[in-house]
Structure 1
Amino acid sequence: MSKPPTDTSGLGYSYHLPSGGLLLRLKNSLSQFSDLFSEFNRYIAPAYHHDRCERSVHMRLYSMQKREFVMVFLGFLICFGLAIVIGLTGPPITSTSEITAKSILANTTLAKSKTVLATGPFAMKSPLMTTYSQQLWLIAKLVTDNNDDEKYDKSFHVSVAIDGITEQHKPLSILRADSVRNRTRHLSCVRNDCEEFTILHLGFLEYAHYIITVRFYGLESFHQKYNIRSITFYFKTYSPEFTQIEIWFRFIFLLFTFIVICWYAHTLRKYPIYDWSIEQKWMSILLPLLLLYDNPFFPLIS
């Protein structure tokens, strides 16, 4: 009969390294993740099957009846439909006025020049601008005599000089002649119709009228080949009627948002923030952000 192996340490114990390797590590990691989620789960707003003890402040959402849900959604749909109807029947967003290059050059010495449509200069006066106009775009559209079924793209430069008309009816240089800005534009045409391109954009209107002088560079060869028949300039601004409606809408939503914030703070004032649910905490952040989104200073900058 063989003898059992003797214990060399003399303590009567033997130690074995744990087995399992990567699988055991993965199991331990999942166990730690489960414990972490369990700690986080206690802060989540309760569901119908959750225990109400050790939970957050009771939310009205979880005790609403079907009739109340229907009324809430019905109110939302009515407000949404009312906004669509006002948008469809209300004034247009932008207001556009146009002027042709031939009418600009009619009383000038350049009217008889054959290349004036390809070069300019085109000095034009903008329509009356008010604070409700907000912004100004100047857009140009070319029409040629080309009748071939082809598409072509021409790169050229545009220079712009701007003068503002003061209350004393005197021009004040905004963009001086010695610092004229040059911008590269692309003229894309199909047959005799060319796409519109933006010449300038003013994001803030300080004067009631502007005198804008436009010059083209690099269209001479294009004019010789396709013959520019006409150029139409469009002055586009926000419609004053639309701006007034926008101001009223912002004011109404600003007032309602402020009322909801006051009501929300009054409702939760007796509960410590620690007991608020995640939805309630986020709502306390989103409501002030919504107040800023309505932009209380919009009437001052429009």
Structure 2
Amino acid sequence: MEPSVHMRLYTLSKRHFVIVFLTFFLCFGVTVLIGIVGPQVIVSYPEKGSTIVKPPGDLQTGIFELTTRPLTMFSQRLWLTCRIVLHNPSDDVFTRPFNILVKLSGRKKDSSLAPLGTFNHSRHLHCERICDEIMILHLGFLYYSQYVTMVSFENLNEPISDVEFTFTTYNAAFTQLEIWFRFVFLVLTFMVTCIMAHSLRRFSMRDWSVEQRWLALLLPLLLLYDDPLFPLSFLVNSWIPGLLDDLFQATFLSALLLFWLCTYHAMRLQSQGRFVTFYLPKLLIVGTLWLAAIMLGAWQTKNQLHDPTFHYPMDSGSFRGMKIFFLIVGSLYVLYLVFLILRACTELRNTPYFDLRLKFLTGLTFVIFCFSLAILILRFGSRVLDENFIPELSTRYRSAAEFLSFYGLLNFYLYTLAFVCSPSKNAVFESQLKDNPAFSMLNDSDDDIIYGNSSSETEGQLLQNGRAGQAPYMDESDSD
């Protein structure tokens, strides 16, 4: 039997459970509403190629000189895209390869230009009356307050009427909202972590339940997920804070995936088995996802630093293999988790305590899964596995509501778990009764105390002893 500190979960009535879920929905709903009325995430401004081409009129090759508006650190990122407008569009679908030559420069404080490199990449023009938008460059870190880009085309033989360029950056108002709400979640998480640690310090770690042990790990990792170093991105001119943010997010999400696997398996076994048989298979699955995410983030950062025009679907032969790898390992994780949940529900459905823990954790996790799935469907729709999901603008938040819903969902999820899994007020008293031999027979199991399922045989024995004039739990020496 798993040793367990008496949790607040066991003392909650049905009314209390309703209040807990309503509070969770209320907090989540408030954050989403704030996001809905919040500022737009990105700002874009177009440039007509016909007005900036040199020499004039040479749209098929010409040199397009594009200069960004003044940028600040709050702009965070910069995208440059283009859409080619055909002279005689038709309903025919076609794809034509061509090359894009990009010369990028950054404007210094003294108004001089610092050359950042010249890049030449192959692209495909895909058209069906309207041609698809083409990614030209993506700067994940803004070292200069203004950028000058010279763009020219090669081997583009289609008749062109114009080229529509678009610069896109983050809205400074949204960046400020992101900083403030990350700070708010950071403070709330710190408070919840301290309260949880203070409530558990009275008990030996070997008596903590599996949920309490994992919360002792997840809450500090949630602090990293909220990223206390995020403001450094706007104070130092470096790419390191951004890379650390990706590392913190990948680590927390991987730990959350591992928490679900270990918790459902440990509740069924009512203990945590040996490392090789219990932890190793789970670490292989989740650790592989974590390592792949870290490598992908580092790879993306490296390419952004050396070649901002690098386009993963077009310039990397391993891009499709990486997608297939994530899909296979992710499917394996889901199948393993569903198997553990079904086994746990089958074996623990009539077991007091464990049945209650299983129902609450499964119900709350299912709510989180449904919200996350709904957000993804609303965000991407059928394009959730599209070929351009890594470097494109579509991978970023489209609205403040998306940002707040993702962060609020995970934060409020752990806050709720920390509340219901924290020790109850009488946990110390019950623990002392368990350790006292004089009361051991009165406290055969916590399940009987909480749910009122005292053994009828014990009650009958006590009643029989009372009728016989015998004092229960009295030694023979005392009777003399």
User: What TM-score, normalized to structure 1?
Assistant: 0.75
Q: CA deviation at 1:174?
A: 1.5
User: Distance between the aligned counterparts of 1:134 and 1:148, measured in 2?
Assistant: 39
Give the helix-richer structure, 1 or 2: 2
User: Distance between the aligned counterparts of 2:24 and 2:103, measured in 1?
Assistant: 50
Asked whether 1:183 is paired with 2:118, we answer: no
User: Distance between the aligned counterparts of 1:210 and 1:148, measured in 2?
Assistant: 36
Partner of 2:60: 118
Asked whether 1:97 is paired with 2:32, we answer: no
SS of the aligned residue for 1:117 comes to: coil
Q: CA deviation at 1:67?
A: 2.3
Match of 1:292 among 224, 227, 236: 224
Asked whether 1:197 is paired with 2:111, we answer: no
Identity %: 44
Deviation larger for 251-260 or 151-160? 151-160
Q: CA deviation at 1:76?
A: 0.9
SS of the aligned residue for 2:115 comes to: strand
SS of the aligned residue for 2:120 comes to: strand
Q: CA deviation at 1:200?
A: 0.3
Q: CA deviation at 1:294?
A: 0.6
Q: CA deviation at 1:79?
A: 1.1
Q: How does 1:1-302 map to 2 (within 5 A)?
A: 42-43=1-2, 55-105=3-53, 108=54, 110-112=55-57, 116-175=58-117, 180-191=118-129, 193-219=130-156, 221-222=157-158, 227-302=159-234
Q: What is the number of residues matched between the two proteins? A: 234
Q: CA deviation at 1:56?
A: 1.2
Q: CA deviation at 1:120?
A: 2.1
Give the root-mean-square deviation of aligned CA atoms.
1.2
User: Distance between the aligned counterparts of 1:195 and 1:234, measured in 2?
Assistant: 13
User: Distance between the aligned counterparts of 2:10 and 2:52, measured in 1?
Assistant: 69
User: Distance between the aligned counterparts of 1:184 and 1:75, measured in 2?
Assistant: 53
SS of the aligned residue for 1:82 comes to: helix
Q: CA deviation at 1:206?
A: 0.9
User: What TM-score, normalized to structure 2?
Assistant: 0.48
Which letter does structure 2 place at the counterpart of 1:214? V
Which letter does structure 1 place at the counterpart of 2:215? M
Structure 1 stretches lacking a partner, 5+ long? 1-41, 44-54
Which letter does structure 2 place at the counterpart of 1:92? Q
Which letter does structure 1 place at the counterpart of 2:150? T
Structure 2 stretches lacking a partner, 5+ long? 235-480
Which letter does structure 1 place at the counterpart of 2:233? I
User: Distance between the aligned counterparts of 1:166 and 1:145, measured in 2?
Assistant: 39
User: Distance between the aligned counterparts of 1:147 and 1:198, measured in 2?
Assistant: 21
SS of the aligned residue for 1:142 comes to: strand
User: Distance between the aligned counterparts of 1:266 and 1:231, measured in 2?
Assistant: 62
Aligned in 2, Cα 1:255/1:202: closer, same or farther, shift over 3 Å? same
User: Distance between the aligned counterparts of 1:188 and 1:151, measured in 2?
Assistant: 7
SS of the aligned residue for 1:299 comes to: helix
Which letter does structure 2 place at the counterpart of 1:156? F
Aligned in 2, Cα 1:147/1:202: closer, same or farther, shift over 3 Å? closer
Q: CA deviation at 1:211?
A: 0.5
Q: CA deviation at 1:170?
A: 1.2
User: Distance between the aligned counterparts of 2:66 and 2:89, measured in 1?
Assistant: 30
Q: CA deviation at 1:58?
A: 0.5
Moved over 4 A (4+): none
Q: CA deviation at 1:146?
A: 2.0
User: Distance between the aligned counterparts of 1:296 and 1:184, measured in 2?
Assistant: 40
Partner of 1:7: none
Partner of 1:34: none
Partner of 2:384: none
Q: CA deviation at 1:147?
A: 3.9
